[in-house]
A and B are shown apart, each in its own frame.
Chain A
Amino acid sequence: KAGVTQTPRYLIKTRGQQVTLSCSPISGHRSVSWYQQTPGQGLQFLFEYFSETQRNKGNFPGRFSGRQFSNSRSEMNVSTLELGDSALYLCASSSSQGWYEQYFGPGTRLTVT
């Protein structure tokens, strides 16, 4: 099976812009979670989607949003980018049977200038 894929891999944006990141889970996986990874804060949970519904949400401002499509692909959007949003954004998927175990994608490296 193909692993979790994320596009784009690298992105440079300017403060105030918005950005959309995409994640394709492992085939058959219906749960997708998003994480922000920074040197200072480590890995922080953003949100989780299951069957197109947001199931859990982390402690991030409303500028961070996401959605999941019927094919389980997920997107996350960050509006009004701030310098502090520069990070590696990781997507992880899990199956219904092994829901507790997550498989990560390579991440999208976002740089905000």
Chain B
Amino acid sequence: AQTVTQSQPEMSVQEAETVTLSCTYDTSESDYYLFWYKQPPSRQMILVIRQEAYKQQNATENRFSVNFQKAAKSFSLKISDSQLGDAAMYFCAYRSDYYNNNDMRFGAGTRLTVKP
């Protein structure tokens, strides 16, 4: 079964600085999708960024970018120019490209604090 591991329960970053959140996953599949979701306190889960495993190029969305290392099964999220609004729980997620048993698997999350 696919598992997702986020080894940093908590991270802290100074406003305007850069922070990297780590995520590793375990799978024997070759086709899959990886996601980072953000869940602000008492607010809705929001999709931050998506990476297709077949794409070698790392995904980028404004200040958010990923470092996808398929062989190492690593998928880290870099947040540049951190803002107070970036404070949230961040979840790394994996979804198989196969029709059966392709529910989304989430990591335990990393709580990001942004200091002014």
Given A100-B97, A101-B35, A101-B47, are A42 and B103 neighbors across the interface (CB < 8 Å)?
Answer: no
* Cα-based distance from A107 to B43 in the complex (angstroms): 9
* Cα-based distance from A102 to B35 in the complex (angstroms): 10
Given A42-B109, A43-B91, are A102 and B43 neighbors across the interface (CB < 8 Å)?
Answer: no
B78 proximal to A (CB < 8 A) = no
Contact assessment for B104 and A106 in the assembled complex, using a CB-CB cutoff below 8 Å: no
* Cα-based distance from A92 to B47 in the complex (angstroms): 11
Contact assessment for A106 and B44 in the assembled complex, using a CB-CB cutoff below 8 Å: yes
Chain A residues whose C-beta falls within 8 Å of the C-beta of B108 in the assembled complex: 42
- 8 pairs, CB–CB < 8 Å, chain A vs chain B: A42-B106, A43-B106, A45-B104, A48-B103, A90-B45, A92-B45, A101-B47, A105-B44
* Cα-based distance from A88 to B47 in the complex (angstroms): 18
Using a CB–CB distance below 8 Å, which chain A residues touch chain B? 3, 33, 42-43, 45, 48, 56, 58, 90, 92, 100-107
Contact assessment for B103 and A101 in the assembled complex, using a CB-CB cutoff below 8 Å: no
Q: List which B40-64 residues lie within 8 A (CB) of chain A.
A: 43-47, 50
A-B contact count (CB 8 A): 41
Contact pick for B104, options A33, A42, A105, A107, CB 8 Å: A33
B102 proximal to A (CB < 8 A) = yes
Chain B residues whose C-beta falls within 8 Å of the C-beta of A100 in the assembled complex: 33, 50, 95, 97, 102
Minimum CB–CB distance for B52 against chain A, Å: 8
Contact assessment for A56 and B103 in the assembled complex, using a CB-CB cutoff below 8 Å: yes
Q: List which B71-112 residues lie within 8 A (CB) of chain A.
A: 91, 95, 97, 100-109
* Cα-based distance from A56 to B44 in the complex (angstroms): 24
For residue A105, which residue of chain B has the nearest CB? B44
Minimum CB–CB distance for A53 against chain B, Å: 13
Chain B residues whose C-beta falls within 8 Å of the C-beta of A106 in the assembled complex: 43-44
* Cα-based distance from A16 to B16 in the complex (angstroms): 50
